[in-house]
Structures are given as C-alpha cells and as structure tokens.
Amino acid sequence: MDSAIGTYICQTIDCSKPATLQCPTCIKMALAPAYFCDQECFKRYWPIHKTFHKKQEEQEDQKNKFKFTGPLRPGKISARLFVPDHIKKPEWYLSGQPTEEMKSKLQQVVDCKTPEDIQKMRDCAAIGRGALDAGHAAVKPGVTTDEIDKIVHKYIIDHDAYPSPLNYNGFKKSLCTSVNEVICHGIPDDRPLENGDIVNLDVSVYYKGFHIDLNETYFVGEVSESSKFLVEKAYTCLQKAIEICKPGTMYRDVGNIIEKYISENGLAVNRTYCGHGVGQLFHCAPTIPHYGKNKAPGFMKPGHTFTIEPMINQGTHQDILWTFDNWTAVTADGQRSAQFEHSILITEGGCEVLTARLPTSPPLDFKI
C-alpha cells in the first residue's frame, strides 16, 4: 500500500502492528487480501484465518441469493487500515466491542459539557470538517469509495486523531459511504463511483477523549433532476431543524419540523435511524427521531451536544438490511436516499453548529 496513505493493520486479533504481508490464499481466491505483520504472526493466526476463506465463500453465496431492492451491488472490501501507536484509541480498536459505552450512565442521562469539554469538541470538530472536505474533494466518476476511505483515514491520523467507526462493532473502514439507495452505514469498497450517482460521506472522529459526527451527500458528475431535488430537500430540512435548537426546545420537536417539511415536498423520512448524543461517547442520550409525533423525552439545555441527521427517501420510509454484511441499510423500494448531519452544541442564546461548513469547504452542488 502507498506509504503516503498509510499501512494496513495486522489481522491477528491481539496484534496491532502495521502489516504489508498479504495472505496468498486470499489472493488466489480473488478475495480482498488480509494483511499480516510477519510470517510468525501469519502462521500463529492461520488456524483462525483460514475459516475466513470459507466465510467469504458463504458470504458470496448469500450475495448471489440476496434479493436486492435497487441496482447497486457491493464490491470487494479491503482490510482494516493501521492507526499509529501514539494516537489515543477508543475501547473497540482491537476488541471491536463498545462495551463500556453501552454500560455508561450517559445512555440514559444527557450530560452538560464544561467549557473545557466544549473546546475539546471544537478541536475534534475541526478535524472532522477537514476530513469530510478532503473526502468531498475526491468525489468524481471513476473514484472508488475505498480510495475515499483511505484519504479520510490519512487526514484523521495525520491530525493525531482516530476515525471513530473503525472496528466499531467490527466495522472495517474509517467512514461510511452510502451510494444511491443506501440510507446509511454503507461500507467503502472497490466499486467505482459512476456518473449520475449520489454518495453520502459520513465522518466521525475521536480526539482528546471526545467524538464528533458529521456527513454530507454529494453529486457524482451530472445527476437527474429528481436526485437534485432529493439532496437539496435533505439539506434544507436539517437547516430548518437546527433553527429551533435552543434551551427549552423539546427533543421531539426536531422530528415534527423535519416531517412536516419533507412530507410537503412528497418525500419520506426514514424512521429506523435517529440522531444521538455525542461527546465522551460515540453514541449516547439523547435519542432524536427525525419523524413527527415521536415520543422522544427531554428538553435541550446549555451544554448538551448531539447530532441531527435526517435520512430522506424518494419513496417509502422503510428500509431493509443487507444481511450478508449486517451493516448496509437500503430503501425497501430501491429508490434513492440522501442525508446531511451536524453535531450541535446548545448555548445560552441558541446553538452552535460545531461541524459547520467553512469558507474553504468545497461548495455543494446546489444553491444554499
């Protein structure tokens, strides 16, 4: 792998060394190669790794039998990228499990950040914005989402931060790339982006003990008028939701604002995936549904930090999961979906968009 991008991590579970040695069986089977740091590690892990080959064959069989809802098909997924030792890592870096996050009291209680916490989140958000802008600049026909993943990964680690999704519940990549009918959690792969696609890049960063989360949807080349309409409305509904964010606003009102605007425009709001608290934890309270008449409890208070990230569909609000990877959520009718996300801080006088676009951010493809 190009040293300008970085190296892969050794696939041996208890090893976190950089790796360049490829598994020859993976290559022979035309799989995305697994990497190891040296022959000893490879030999030690072989009894476990060889089961991966069978699992990949089974997964390919599942793909062939799977009833896809739209035209998109997955490509090959490359190995996990390496993160240097000096970078502070979350609990799931090696284990893949956010155990302490799930046990935290912050799953039920919304904390108010201190001024010191807020400054750390601003620092984290600056890295997240820069990483997303770097990924955006690479979007064009012929570029693979795996290449964009490498660009975003490099930007984040070059700023001494960690890409939060990496190995979170086993997720293999450093950002989510959701193309066309993918609602969220698309896995970067070797499929080249095509003229007319839309693609969402979802970046999350861990830095100084805090996480930040943001995403945007972009046009790939020339897209249809219906896709332009979808993406612009997805952007606008997020802005309308942010406008009501201030102390005393009920969290349930976010969904009421979004649903009203989207339904008036003949589109649908996905009801499965919600906004969430963000800070010391990647995901925590509050939960923020994006649809109307929801029962989300609580009021916004100064110091609360959370995401708003409505997923807007051209057709039905319903989704299904690609069961062969257990991550990729797509529209149930195969029509397209678009999303924008910001991390928000509630202030005494209103709110601060921590992940706001900058004058240097590549422009979006529609007027704002």
Binding residues for a protein: 185, 283
Instruction: Work out the end-to-end distance of the chain between its first and last CA atoms, rounded to an integer number of angstroms.
Output: 39
- Reported for 39-48, long-range contacts at CB under 8 A and 24+ positions apart, including other chains, are 41/10, 41/12, 41/15, 41/17, 42/12, 44/12, 45/11, 45/12, 45/13, 48/13
Q: Which residues are annotated as a binding site?
A: 185, 202, 213, 276, 283, 309, 341
- Report how far residue 304's alpha carbon sits from residue 288's, in angstroms, rounded to the nearest whole number: 13
Which tokens in the block code for residue 363? Answer: 């422009």
Which tokens in the block code for residue 274? Answer: 């919600």
Q: Which residues are annotated as a binding site for Zn(2+)?
A: 202, 213, 276, 309, 341
Helices (H), the chain: 24-28, 39-65, 92-95, 99-103, 115-137, 145-158, 225-243, 252-264
Query: To which residue do tokens 């990483």 refer?
Result: 131
Query: To which residue do tokens 């004058």 refer?
Result: 359
> Contact 177/149 with Cβ under 8 angstroms?
yes
